[in-house]
Structure formats: C-alpha cells, structure tokens
Amino acid sequence: MLKMTRRTALLLAASIITLSSAASAQESSSEVWTYWGSGAEKQAIESVVALDNQKHPDTEVTHRVIPGNTLEMRRQLQTALLGGTPPTAYQSAMGYELKTFVDADQLASIDSVWKQVKGDEIFPRGLQRVVKIDGKPYAIPLNMGVISNVFYRKDVFDKLGLQPPKTIAEFDAVCDKLAAAGIAPLGNASGPFWSMYNFYAPLLSVLGPDGYFKMAQGEVSFTSPEIRKAFELYRDTFVKHYSKNWSGKTWAQGGDDLVNKDVGMYMMGDWVSAYMKERGLQPGKDYDFFPAPGIGKATLIQVDVIATPKESKTSDNFLLTAASTEAQASFNKYKGSIAANLKTDPSIYDYVGQKEVKQLQASEAENVVLPNLFFLLPTNLGSEMGNQLERFASDPSDATLDTVLKTLEALRLQDKEDDAFVNW
Amino acid sequence: MSASSLPADRDAPIRFAAAVLLSAVFLAPLGMALLTSLKSPAEIVQILSLPHRPDWGNYAVAWNQIGRSFINSIAITLPGALLSVLVGAIGAFPLSQLRGRTGMIIYFFLLTGMLVPYQIVQVPLFDLMRHLGLYNTIPGMWLVHTAYGVPICTFFLRNFFASVPKSIFEAAMLDGCGPAGYFFRILLPASKSGLAALAIIQSRSIWNDLLFAMTLTSTDRARPVTVQLNALTSGLEVQYGPLMASTLISIVPVVVAYLVFQKAFVRGMLGGSSK
Amino acid sequence: MSITSATPGASRARLVYALFLALPVLLFAVFYLLPVAETILTSFQKWNGLSAHRTWVGLRNYTALFGQERFLHSLINNIKWLIFYLLAPPSLGLALALLLNREIRGETIFKVIFFLPYAIPPVAVASMWRWLYEPSHGLITVVMQSLGLGALAQNWLGNPAIVTYAIMGAALWWTAGFSFIVFSAGLRNLPSECIEAARLDGGNAWQIFWRVTFPLLWPSTIIVLGLSAVDAMRIFDIVWAMTNGGPAYASDVLATQMYDVAFGRLNMGQASAIAVTLLVMAAVFILPYITYMARHVERTEA
C-alpha cells in the first residue's frame, strides 16, 4: 500500500509539472457557437464555417458545439461574457432573446453589415421586425422553419377519400372521418412548445395579424373575451382530436405515430418532414401538408439567427457570409429548412420546401409572415404561456382555463409594470 | 435477503434463479439500447422491432463523434479519481479520530459542500480557472474534480474508517507508531475495499460529468466524451442510433474500472487488516 | 472515546491531524465558499445574468418564492424523492449485494450486470427510458399488455399524477448500483467470525441478518443513506433530461426549477434564492440527520 501511495505522490508531482506547463497556453477564441451538434444540422453549420474560411482566410473561425439548447447556450454565453471571452458569433433565437442581450449591453448592432447585404430587401418583413431592437438590426437570420402547417398521411387520406381541409369545419369533419376509420386524427407531443404552436392558428383566427403583434406587445389582456375565445376554439378544433397519450411522447415519437399511421395528421414544425424522409417516407406521395385551419393567409415561422457579441472583432466577415445566398443555400440544403434570405435559389428545396417557399411568398405579399410569438413575449411570459398551454391541452376543463388565464394575466401585468414588453 | 445466510448447498439454485431474473430486468433497457444502436433511422420508429440487418454505421458515426474525446476522458478520469480519493482519505483520517467539537464542526462544514447545487458555482469557477491558467486543460479538470470530490470522499471514507476497530489504532500507538504511520501503514491497507468502492464511484461520476466539462473545456484539447455524447441529443432531433452506440462505447471504460477496482475488493479481504 | 490528552503524543497527533486537514479544507474554502457567498448575495438582487446592472431587492426573491405554487410543488417533489431515495435504491442495492455475497455461479457477470446501469450517463438513461415509457408501443406498455395487464398501462411521462413516480422507476434502475457497490464493500469488510459465531449459536438467517450483519454494516448504511439524501435534494440530471420538469411543471424539482428560472427566464436573483433555500433546508434537515447517524456509530463502537 505504501508503494501505491508513493506512486500516487509521483502522479501528483507529475500533475503539478503538467499544470505549470499547461498554464502558459491560453485560448484564442474565434469561435462560432451553435447547438447544432450532430447529423445534418452539424454539417449545415460547418458548411457555412468552411465557406467563410474560404472567403475570409484572414479571419478564420472554428465551429464549437454547445450541447443542449437555448438554455445551455445562455449559460455558456453568460460565463463567457462575464469572463470576457465572447465567441465571434453564436446561434440565437430572434426577438426577445436579442432584446435581453441588447439591454445587457452585450450585443453590437450590425448596421453596416445589414446595409451591405441589403437586409431590408432580402428577409421577410415580419422577420426583419424581430431582429431589430429600437430600429437597429442585431442579427442575421439564417433559416426559417414553418410551424403553422399540418402534416398528414396522403396515402391514408386518399384511401379514405379525404381532401385536405381548408376551414375549421372541414378540419373537424376530416378528424371525425379519421376517427371513424380507427385512426387517431391528430398527434401532438409534450413540452412547452408544441401545444403553443398549435394554438397560434385559433389565436390568429380570432385576433388577426395585427392583434397578434398587439399581444406580443402586451396590449391584449389574457382575461379578455377574445383570448378566452381563442383558447376555446383551440380546445374545440385541436385538443379534442388529439391522440390518446400524446402528452407522454416527444415530438419525434409523435412523428413516429404519423410514420406508423397511428395518427392521420400532426401539426408540427416542418422539421418533421426531414424526420419522415429519413425514415423512408416520400413527401408528396406518402405525406403532405396544408396550412392550419383558421390561420388565413398568415404563415408562422421559427427562426435561427446569428448574433455577435459586442466584444468580438472578426464577426462582420462571418455575418456577411451567413447572409449570402451561397451560405444560406448550403446551410438550408443540409438542414432541410427554408433560407431566410428570400433571394436564395429555390431549386435547393425538396417538394415540401418548394411548396413552403410559395406559401411564404404569398404571405409575404400580404406582409403576414409572422414570427413565433414565444420569442416575442418577454422570456418569462413566453415560457409560462407554453407551459400553461400544455397544461390546458392535457386538461381542457373550464376550471383549468380560468386558472391558466388568471396566471398568465398576472404575469402580463407584472411584465407591464416592469416595462418589459417590446413594440416590435 | 435471508437467503444469503442459509447454507449454500440448499439455496444456491434459488439465489442463482433470483440473480438471473434480476439480471434480465437490469439488462432489458440495455438490450433495447443495443438493438437501437444497430438500427437504421427508418427502423427506429418501430421501437421493439429487431434490426433488419445490423447497421454498424451508427458505431462509425459514434466513434467519429467521440473518439478523440475518449482519450481526454481517460486522461481526466484516472488521475482525477485517484487524487480525489487520496485527498478524501487525508481529510477523513483526522476527522475519524478527532472526537471533540472541533472535529465535528469541520466535518459538518465539509458536508455542507455536498448540498451545494453545482449549477451555481459555474461562473465564479470559470473565472478562477482562467486566472489560474487552467481553463481548457486536463490538469484543470483534475483539480476541479478533486476539489468537488472533497465532501463526498471525506464523508465516505470517514465512515468507512470508523468501521476499522479502535483496538487496532490503540495497539499501533502502543507499538510506537505515530498517527501518520498508522494511517499509511495500517489504516489504508485495511480499508482497501472502501477505497476501491470509492474509486469506482468517483471514476464513474468524473467520467459522466457534463456540467464542469461544459464550463471549463472548449476544444478537443480537453473536452471529454460526455460533451460530445450530449451533442448527439442537442438541436432538434435526437440521433438515437449514434447516441446509443456511443453510450455503449462510453460505458466500457467505467466497467473496466469497476472490474479492476473490484479486484482490490477481494484482495482487501484476503490481505485483511492484520498487520 | 477520545485520545487521552495527557500523553505527550497527543499534541503531536493534533499537529499531524491539522496538517492532514489543511489541503481538503483549503480546496473546500476556495471552490465552495466563494461561489456560495456570491450566490447568497445574488439572491437579494434582481439580475438577468448578463447585464452589468444589478438591483438590490431585499427579500423580494424569497417572498415571491414562498407564495408560489410551482415552488411548493417542486419542494414536495423533492421530499418525495427524498423518501424514495432513502428507501428504494438502498434496499435493492443491499438485496443485490447480499445475493452475491456468497458463492454463486457467474458471480462476476452478475456483478457487472447490476453495476452497468450506474455507469450510463444520465442523458442516455433518459433517452432509453423515454422509449421504455412510450405510452403506446414502449417496452413497458407492451410487456404489460402481453401479461394481460394492458389496462394498467399508463401514460407514464404524460400524466401529471404519475410522471414523478415513472422517473423514479428509471432512477431506481440507474442508481441501485451505487448502494450495491457500497454494501458489497461493506460486506467484504465484515469480520466473518461474528457471523460464524451467531450461526453456531443457532440463529436463523433472518435473525442473523438483523441482529449481526445489519448492525455491523452500519457505517456502509450511513454512507448510502447520507449520500442518497443528498442526491435526493440535489436531483437534477435525470429529471431534466427526461421531462424538463414537465408536463407543465408536474415533475419539477427545486434544481430543475432553479435551472429553468436562471436560464429559461433569465432571473438569476430568484434562481439564487431557490439555491439558497435548498442549501438551508438541507443543512437544517439532512445534515443533523447524517451527523446523528455518524455519532450513533461511535456510541455503538464505544
């Protein structure tokens, strides 16, 4: 045993030597941080990084994966920003996420880059609104995911002689027919996002696009008759048709249900298309999508943007690359999402993507490409709303609805008092 | 439970059957993980199906993802576990001897450390490690795991040392052996099975650490397996096939460590506490 | 039983002990005290974690917390976890250790099997169990159906009334290996003469276990129960990776709430208040228990 202790002592000594030698090496950080950590998403961002290094060899950047999600990204940023070692650029959400960092004096406005790439012309107007704080742009949108479409099994619809529904009444009828054929009409999944995304269509059908932005700005009371009506409409169009046990599934398990024809329809972000393709289904043949009933001309998008901390120096070049159609084409081709830069060549898209681009163009013509409300509300209210909607979807009683609305209204008033809302 | 104390010949088959049954339950989730690691994405939707044709591609993806960090993890875990056990033993010995108020207060004070949620120490820790020049270094990770191992290792070994009969200590003192001599020559060898158990526990917890690694490492120079493994579940879609493949790869070293230290259990018993 | 202070060796012994303690205490002071002090300070402030600007708000973070339904719910869940962690994994671990403590064929293989789950990183445990608990086609539901118990199958992770217990099932599988290792080591260290003697005295297995083996195992039991209690208060990984505390906060515990409040809502002040509450509560309820048990050993020894 004594021998072992001596060995350990040696090890200790060795470690001290290594320690002192390691101490001299400091990190230079020209890094791009994302949580695209694997598969096609990782290839997507790395293709942009490679392109940038080719275009701007003087300001070389490397990609660093921050495993996790927005929360872990924030934690890492907090550590790095307080420690004075910011990344060159990082993956961020739009809207309130940017606002928080701007208020904390951590983000640099990217005015010059924005002008150079003609940001006011290449991105959808609804999206431009939410990467600007007080009129100044702070981030370059990289990709869009449409979250307002309902995916359905085309083969099942064909077999039952069903048409994609256009109105709420038709949707209801389709659901009933699917149920009669022994297929659960609609899938859903657990977590604060999915029920909330499903809720947007009823919300828009009640409030309209202007009301939607008013809500984002804290001007609509949760206890108003309109909001109650939206919740009730959500219950009567969506919640009542959800498959049994949806609340015990992840979004991917919900996707499996659609693949396995356990459900006939699934309202989910368009990433579920990539998921089904990977599982051998053919878009346009095995499955297809239609806009959520009640949504009107609007299309809702979830967006990833690239932001740059104030202290970073080489960021302009990376942002220029990220905004280019070349990078956007390469990124979105891998990821299977839609380029935020509308000038990007649409030939990169598959069936679903091309159809979505047309949909987005139609919405853009009416200026109703709407960003995800979750990221427009103050962070605490957005998160709470997601949780409360999940709660309501699993227990859609009037009593729950009362509590849900009261909880949210209290929070809205508090945020109002703290002057937390943004006029997008 | 009672079965274990009955004569072996009579109940051996019962105990064996119980062990087999429990093993089946313990292995079921792992069996599913193994199946999944051999499936193509198209097959994963059928949770319980057998893979059509074993798809070893997931292992290639997995190794590609975690291979480099594997070595870092070994370089962090081995010294980290040994150092933390050593420091724990150094702290536990006096605490197991001091019976007065001072000992109790120090002990209590160290124990509070076990209750600190690690999430709250990250920012100050990051600053500290950068000032020490240990950010993104493997020795830095040794230091951190040793420091954060102090409460648990001290607690563990203090209680383990308490199980060594007092009479041995008194006899050693009468033999003119000082406290330090007693610690190194008698107590440590007598506690081999405890030290080995703690080494296993520490190896496993250091190997599986994600939080400290996320805060304190940034590149392949020091990033451990867990960070790379977690990258497979980040972003929107979890890559189940590669995730399960890398999980199965990543638990191999922990099992090896277990088997190695496990030997020390047995030797600890055979060596006995006799001087 | 204290070291007789009259002997001249006593002061030298004290010096040796002080030297031994220096390094652990130093590490502790640097790596724990500083961050904890910082956290206590933050708990009295309003701070989003990013800005240089912090506002002093006194006790507001605490008062807001104590009236909050979500906080009380998390606290109750932590208490459920505490009870569970003190009972289930230690019992299973002890049973497994006893099962393998005597000659058994394939001992090493069984040992590895019982240890294996404990070696798996939490994120992978969570992924596996999300499938096992898939409510329609998961292994658990399917097995129950094939046993004719399909009616009892649940929406494991989706039903707010069940989700915490479902996660506990996964945690039992995952953590029993810990108690198993400690009890195995403890059993190895037992003086076999005592058990032999008891057997010769004609005690039956049950009596021998409760009257001889179990009391002798007390130091291992303290380790297991102490660390289990601590783990229960701090539990985070498995809950976060499996459900993020959902659905709608149903499986939230204090640590997941703290993480969500800190980084999901960027309210560092309130998150720190949760951390401090956790620390104080644990220090008030858990530590005295641990120290009491530790004293108990000394008394039984003396």
Predicted pLDDT at B5: 46
pLDDT for residue C3 is more than 60 = no
Do the chains contact at C28 and B156, CB–CB below 8 Å? Answer: no
What is the CATH code for B59-271? 1.10.3720.10
Q: Phi and psi dihedrals of B50, rounded to 5?
A: -85, 145
Chain A partners of B217 at a C-beta cutoff of 8 Å? none
Q: What is the pLDDT of residues B43-71, one digit of tens each?
A: 877 767 777 778 788 898 888 888 889 89
| Separation CA B137–CA B217 (nearest Å) | 7
pLDDT for residue A415 is more than 50 = yes
Task: pLDDT band for A231, please (50, 70, 90 cuts).
Answer: very high
Predicted pLDDT at A9: 52
pLDDT for residue A349 is more than 60 = yes
Q: What is the mean pLDDT of chain A?
A: 90
Contact C74, C253 (CB under 8 A): yes
pLDDT for residue A22 is more than 50 = no
Please tell me what DSSP assigns to residue B186. I
| Separation CA A85–CA A356 (nearest Å) | 39
Contact A87, A31 (CB under 8 A): yes
Cα separation of the two ends of chain C: 7
| Separation CA C220–CA C215 (nearest Å) | 10
| Separation CA A117–CA A319 (nearest Å) | 9
Predicted pLDDT at B237: 74
Predicted pLDDT at A330: 95
Predicted pLDDT at C8: 54
Q: What is the pLDDT of residues C66-108, one digit of tens each?
A: 888 899 999 999 999 999 999 999 999 999 999 988 778 888 8
* Pick from A226-235, B239-248, C3-12: least confident: C3-12
Of C24, C102, C121, nearest to B229 by CB-CB distance is C121
pLDDT for residue C150 is more than 90 = no
Q: Which residue from C52, C56, C47, C69 is spatially nearest to C270, judged by alpha carbons? A: C47
Chains in contact with C, counting 3 or more C-beta pairs less than 8 Å apart as contact: A, B
Pairing of strands C55-56, A184-187: unpaired
Confirm whether C178 is domain-assigned: yes
Indicate the burial class of C2 (C-beta count within 10 angstroms; 0-12, 13-18, 19 or more): exposed
Q: List, in sequence order, every residue forming a beta bridge with A322; answer none if it has no partner.
A: none
B137 contacts: CB under 8 Å, gap ≥ 6: A19, A22, A23, A25, B221, B222
Predicted pLDDT at B111: 83
In chain C, which among 81-100 make CB contacts under 8 A with chain B? 94-96, 98-100
CATH number for the domain spanning C288: value is 1.10.3720.10
Q: What is the pLDDT of residues C205-231, one digit of tens each?
A: 788 888 888 888 888 888 899 889 888
Chain B partners of A271 at a C-beta cutoff of 8 Å? 236-237
Cα A256 to Cα A122, A370, C9, C99, C124: the distances in Å are 36, 28, 73, 41, 20
List, as own/partner pairs, every contact residues B24-30 make where C-beta atoms lie below 8 angstroms and the sequence separation is at least 24, other chains included. B26/C113, B26/C114, B26/C116, B26/C117, B26/C173, B27/C113, B27/C116, B28/C132, B28/C139, B29/C117, B29/C128, B29/C129, B29/C132, B29/C139, B29/C173, B30/B248, B30/C116, B30/C117, B30/C128
* Pick from A51-65, A287-301, B100-114, C213-227: least confident: B100-114
Chain B partners of A42 at a C-beta cutoff of 8 Å? 231, 235
Residues A356-363, mean pLDDT to the nearest whole number: 94
Q: List, in sequence order, every residue forming a beta bridge with A187; answer none if it has no partner.
A: A266
Q: Which residue from A106, A403, A371, A107 is spatially nearest to A217, judged by alpha carbons? A: A371
Pairing of strands A263-267, A149-153: antiparallel
Predicted pLDDT at A10: 52
Predicted pLDDT at A29: 61
Of C48, C135, C137, nearest to A100 by CB-CB distance is C48
Q: What is the pLDDT of residues B196-227, one digit of tens each?
A: 889 999 999 999 998 899 889 888 889 999 98
Amino acid code (one letter) for A399: A
Contact B260, B196 (CB under 8 A): no
Q: Which residue from C134, B12, B258 is spatially nearest to A251, judged by alpha carbons? A: C134
**Domain spans, chain A:** 31-146+302-364, 149-300+374-417
Residues C274-293, mean pLDDT to the nearest whole number: 81
Confirm whether C158 is domain-assigned: no
Return the axis-axis angle of helices C139-146 and C122-132, rounded to nearest 10°. 40
Residues C1-8, mean pLDDT to the nearest whole number: 46
DSSP per residue, A372-412? -GGGTS-HHHHHHHHHHHHHHHHS--HHHHHHHHHHHHHHH
Residues C177-206, mean pLDDT to the nearest whole number: 82
Predicted pLDDT at B1: 38
Q: Phi and psi dihedrals of B117, rounded to 5?
A: -65, 125
Contact C32, B121 (CB under 8 A): yes
Predicted pLDDT at A304: 95
Predicted pLDDT at B142: 96
**Domain spans, chain B:** 1-55, 59-271
Contact B154, B91 (CB under 8 A): yes
Predicted pLDDT at C7: 55
Q: What is the pLDDT of residues C244-267, one digit of tens each?
A: 998 989 999 999 999 999 888 888
Please tell me what DSSP assigns to residue B182. I
Length of chain A: 424
Confirm whether C181 is domain-assigned: yes
Task: pLDDT band for A99, please (50, 70, 90 cuts).
Answer: very high
Q: What is the pLDDT of residues A116-149, one digit of tens each?
A: 999 999 999 999 999 999 999 999 999 999 999 9
Radius of gyration of chain C (CA): 24
CB burial string B213-229: b at 16+ within 10 A, e below: bbbbbbeeebbbbbbbb
Residue pointed to by tokens 């208490």: C79
Residues B126-142, mean pLDDT to the nearest whole number: 90
Residues A8-18, mean pLDDT to the nearest whole number: 51
pLDDT for residue A323 is more than 80 = yes
Cα A3 to Cα A28, A413, B176, B181: the distances in Å are 42, 69, 22, 14
Task: pLDDT band for B149, please (50, 70, 90 cuts).
Answer: very high
Predicted pLDDT at A6: 52
Residue pointed to by tokens 């594997």: B70
Predicted pLDDT at C13: 80
Q: What is the pLDDT of residues C13-47, one digit of tens each?
A: 888 888 889 999 999 988 888 888 888 999 999 99
C122 contacts: CB under 8 Å, gap ≥ 6: B208, B210, C174, C237, C238, C241
Question: From the CA of B9, how many Å to the nearest CA of chain A?
Answer: 37
Chain C partners of B97 at a C-beta cutoff of 8 Å? 3, 13, 17
| Separation CA B38–CA B28 (nearest Å) | 16
Q: What is the pLDDT of residues A172-217, one digit of tens each?
A: 999 999 999 999 999 999 999 999 999 999 999 999 999 999 999 9
Hey, how many other C-beta atoms are within 10 angstroms of the C-beta on A301?
28
Q: In CATH, which superfamily holds the domain spanning A31-146+302-364?
A: Periplasmic binding protein-like II (3.40.190.10)
C51 touches chain A (CB under 8 A): yes
**CA dihedral (B63, A45, A96, A392) positive or negative:** negative
Chain C partners of B200 at a C-beta cutoff of 8 Å? 181
Please check whether the domain covering A149-300+374-417 is classified as CATH 3.40.190.10.
yes
pLDDT for residue C65 is more than 60 = yes
Predicted pLDDT at C246: 82
Residue of A nearest to B234 (CA): A68
Question: From the CA of A5, how many Å to the nearest CA of chain C?
Answer: 15
pLDDT for residue A47 is more than 50 = yes
Amino acid code (one letter) for A278: E
Predicted pLDDT at C233: 87
A352 contacts: CB under 8 Å, gap ≥ 6: A270, A273, A283, A284, A289
Chain C partners of A244 at a C-beta cutoff of 8 Å? 135-136, 155
Hey, how many other C-beta atoms are within 10 angstroms of the C-beta on B270?
9
| Separation CA C298–CA C302 (nearest Å) | 6
Predicted pLDDT at A189: 94
Q: List, in sequence order, every residue forming a beta bridge with A288; answer none if it has no partner.
A: A152
Q: How many domains does chain C have?
A: 1
Residues A58-69, mean pLDDT to the nearest whole number: 89
Q: Which residue from A304, A424, A297 is spatially nearest to A364, judged by alpha carbons? A: A297
Q: Which domain holds residue C259?
A: 43-123+163-301
Cα separation of the two ends of chain A: 70
Residue pointed to by tokens 């330090």: B180
Pairing of strands A184-187, A338-339: unpaired
Predicted pLDDT at C189: 75
Q: Which of C42, C154, C155, C163 to mutate to test the interface with A (most CBs of A within 10 A)?
A: C155
| Separation CA C168–CA C159 (nearest Å) | 14
Q: In percent, how much of chain B has pLDDT > 90?
A: 28
Do the chains contact at B137 and A271, CB–CB below 8 Å? Answer: no
Confirm whether C151 is domain-assigned: no
Indicate the burial class of C288 (C-beta count within 10 angstroms; 0-12, 13-18, 19 or more): exposed
Q: Which residue from B91, B182, B99 is spatially nearest to C5, judged by alpha carbons? A: B99
- Assign C170 to helix, strand or coil: helix
Q: Phi and psi dihedrals of C92, rounded to 5?
A: -65, -45
Do the chains contact at B214 and A67, CB–CB below 8 Å? Answer: yes
Predicted pLDDT at B266: 63
Pairing of strands A369-371, A184-187: unpaired
Question: From the CA of B220, how many Å to the nearest CA of chain C?
Answer: 20
Cα B218 to Cα A30, A38, A48, A357: the distances in Å are 12, 17, 20, 38
Chain A partners of C246 at a C-beta cutoff of 8 Å? 190-192, 387, 390
Do the chains contact at C135 and A249, CB–CB below 8 Å? Answer: yes
> Would you state the structure tokens that stand for residue B220, as one six-digit string?
């392949």
Confirm whether C223 is domain-assigned: yes
Predicted pLDDT at A405: 96
> Would you state the structure tokens that stand for residue A11, as one six-digit string?
């090890």
Q: Which residue from B153, B134, B157, B152 is spatially nearest to B144, judged by alpha carbons? A: B134
Contact A324, A198 (CB under 8 A): no
Confirm whether C64 is domain-assigned: yes
